[in-house]
Amino acid sequence: MALVLSALCSVAACGAPPPPSAPTFGGKGAILDPGPAAGAVEAKASPLDPCALPAPPSDDARLEDFEDGDSRLFGGFEREGYWYSASDHTAGSTIFPAEGKFEPSKLPAQEATPNNAFAGHFTAAGQKDWGVTWGTTLRHVGATAKCALNASKFRGIRFRVRGSGAVSLRFGMPDTVAAEFNGRCVEHCWDVHGVVIRLGDAWQTHEITWDQLQQAGWGKPVRFDPQHLLSLELAASPANLPADFWIDDLEWLAASAAK
């Protein structure tokens, strides 16, 4: 499957869409990785793979408010990410922002405020193969390597969105992302964990917790592990096109207080 992703996207693990035969989400629910069993031998990082162990947990809940006007995810300490768009390139189809040219959009005048003038605006129409994907890479930038982001200090994600139809919010991990996109999956790839978001004309706040995410069930079964996140995506299949929606104020959900 040919993908034309941005140059920024090509150096990070961009989530690619599922193969044409993939069904929409509706498979088994997510199973959170419980970690090593009691008495298990502690894993050791391989000198040949600096990303074998989880990166240090990310601790900045802010992800993106689009007010900086560029394609870079809000940095956070030792965190990196770049927004991208991808399409199946059906003849005559359209996608915005264009592939390799991501930028935030100005909010309509009646919605903008001095502190909130931009948001992500995504549109697509005419794709008939696997559809479209918009998203951001997720990376921990260490001293010697860029590895999957560790979001285990959080319990999910919160964001505001409005539009029409439905999109899938999903997360790619090394075990579901193909090797050519910096994952380690070699067959039955791209069955990433996600959830369908129903859109409405008015702005709505959604809170998605890790246990709501699920694979479709057609690919390699993988436990969801927030310690190893490569991408955050919003995707629309041909059945949910045309798409036209806005998203803003993405942030991680703080872990629940211990009882």
Q: What is the pLDDT of residue 38?
A: 43
pLDDT for the residue 33: 53
Q: Where are the beta strands (DSSP E) in the chain?
A: 62-64, 79-80, 83-87, 94-96, 105-106, 118-125, 132-137, 139-141, 146-148, 154-164, 166-172, 193-198, 204-209, 231-236, 243-254
Interval 220-225 mean pLDDT: 95
The predicted pLDDT at position 238 comes to: 97
- Cβ atoms 89, 4 nearer than 8 A: yes
**109 Cβ neighbours under 8 A, 6+ residues apart:** none
Average pLDDT over residues 235-259: 90
- pLDDT of residue 198 exceeding 50: yes
What is the average per-residue pLDDT within 236-249? 97
Q: Which residue has the higher pLDDT, 7 or 188?
A: 188
Rounded to an integer, the average pLDDT of 152-173 is 97
| The amino acid at 226 | P
Q: Which two tokens stand for residue 222?
A: 């993988």
Q: Say yes or no to pLDDT of 24 above 70.
A: no
pLDDT at residue 43 is higher than 90: no
CA distances from 3 to 86, 124, 138, 227 (A): 7, 16, 19, 27
**From CA 211, how far away is CA 231, in angstroms rounded?**
17
Question: pLDDT digit string (tens) for 124-150?
Answer: 999 999 999 999 999 999 988 999 999
The pLDDT score that the predictor gives to residue 8 is 36
Angle at 185 between CA 225 and CA 148, to 5 degrees: 45
Q: Is pLDDT larger for residue 217 or for residue 1?
A: 217
Determine the Cα–Cα distance for residues 216 and 219; give it in Å rounded to an integer: 8
pLDDT, tens digit (0-9, with 9 covering 90-100), for 44-87 = 445 578 898 999 999 999 999 999 999 999 989 999 999 999 99
Q: What pLDDT does residue 181 have?
A: 87
Nearest to 200 by CA among 246, 254, 162: 162
Between CA 29 and CA 222 the distance in angstroms is: 11
Q: Does domain 55-254 have CATH number 2.40.420.20?
A: no
Mean pLDDT score, 200-204: 96
Q: Are 32 and 210 in contact (CB under 8 A)?
A: yes
Mean pLDDT of 12-39: 43
DSSP state of 124: E
CA distances from 159 to 11, 63, 213, 251 (A): 26, 10, 15, 6
pLDDT score at 259: 42
Q: What pLDDT sits at residue 16? A: 47
Give percent of the chain with pLDDT exceeding 90: 75
Contact 15, 230 (CB under 8 A): yes
Q: What is the pLDDT of residue 39?
A: 42
